[in-house]
Homo-oligomer: A and B are copies of this chain.
Amino acid sequence: MNARAFPAALILFAGCATAQTPPPPAPTPPAGMQWLYGSGEGGASSIQAYHAFRDYVVATAQSRPRESVVLAPDATLDDPRMVPCGDRPLAVVLDVDETALQNLGYEYDEASNARTYDQERWNRWERTGANAVSAMPGAAAALNTIRAEGVTVIFNSNRQSANAAPTEAAINGANLGPATHGETLYLQGDVAPGSAKDPRRAAISSRYCVIAMAGDQLGDFSDLFNARTLSVPDRRRYATSPPFSALWGRGWFMLSNPVYGTGLRGTYDDVFPADRRWSDPGQGGNR
């Protein structure tokens, strides 16, 4: 995801919480965590995404495409175009957190102690949490099949470059590897400072023809979706309209993450269209 780069509103909220008495932990995990980490529904959704990813990559590897699924440096949301493939070897690019890995230890600690997100604690998690993760359902089998087809699996994460060794250990320990920093693992700080992933995608594209990408945030596909000028409704409209709508499940693969990230944003007016409101007629309207 996008560096676990939280929406500004949530960061402000975290600031408020520390200035007051911290709230007691909720009696159960937040609904999003129940769905993502605990439910059959969430597990099924992940397996379904990885089945689609695997099937698409195996089919596409047979017929070498001319274009990658990485947007070209001069692309815009209104004029998108892809990097040409040339004769470079085939690769897929995946995000790590809540795309390939479930960060179970971190999220348990945060939820059960009613903590809010903290960049320094997350940094300690990157360094020491390698044994408290597991693979997203369906991920390990899909990546193994993809590698057996001769396609290189590359991770592009906003974890810190300084923590490369424990991140390699987390990925490899969850049977998702091999992840080798600088070869099949790109991290924040590797190519350019900051959480933008386009510079790393450009570096990967200079060596490989990227035939599929997977992520849980739109920023795992293009930084264009993270433009500050883009409203919440416009962002959804771009993602769900041509030409980008055609890519979902066909080159770009979305893992559902209702726990954190750029999808958890928006006012009532942002989230609910004005022409889809309803007034309860009340008991009198009930017969």
User: Which residues of A are in contact with B by a Cβ distance under 8 Å?
Assistant: 9, 28-45, 47-49, 51-52, 55, 104-109, 111-112, 120-121, 123-125, 127-129, 131-134, 137-138, 216-218, 225, 232-233, 235-236, 238-240, 245, 248-250, 252-259, 261-268, 270-273, 276-283, 285-286
Contact = CB atoms under 8 A, between A and B. Distances in A.
Chain A interface mostly helix, strand, loop or mixed? helix
Contacts of A240: 40, 43-44, 47, 137-138
12 contacts: A28-B267, A38-B266, A38-B271, A41-B254, A45-B256, A48-B254, A49-B249, A51-B249, A104-B277, A108-B278, A124-B282, A134-B273
A209 B221 CA distance: 39
Given A39-B235, A39-B265, A120-B286, 12 more contacts: A34-B271, A38-B266, A40-B218, A41-B217, A41-B256, A44-B252, A48-B49, A49-B249, A52-B52, A104-B277, A120-B283, A137-B245
A30 B29 contact: no
Chain B CB count within 10 A is highest, among A105, A218, A225, A262, for A105
A52 B254 CA distance: 12
Contacts of A253: 48
A28 B268 contact: yes
A37 to B, nearest CB: 5
Contacts of A39: 232, 235-236, 262-266
Nearest to A245: B47
A41 B268 contact: no
A35 B52 CA distance: 21
A271 B34 CA distance: 6
Copies in the complex: 2
A40 B9 contact: no
Nearest to A55: B249
A128 B261 contact: no
Nearest to A49: B48
A47 B34 CA distance: 23
A183 B263 CA distance: 38
Given A32-B31, A34-B265, A105-B276, A138 B245 contact: yes
A268 B262 CA distance: 25
> 4 closest Cβ contacts across the A-B interface?
A105-B278, A40-B239, A39-B263, A38-B271
Nearest to A284: B124
A240 B104 CA distance: 17
A52 B217 contact: no
Contacts of A270: 38
A49 B9 CA distance: 30
B138 A278 contact: no
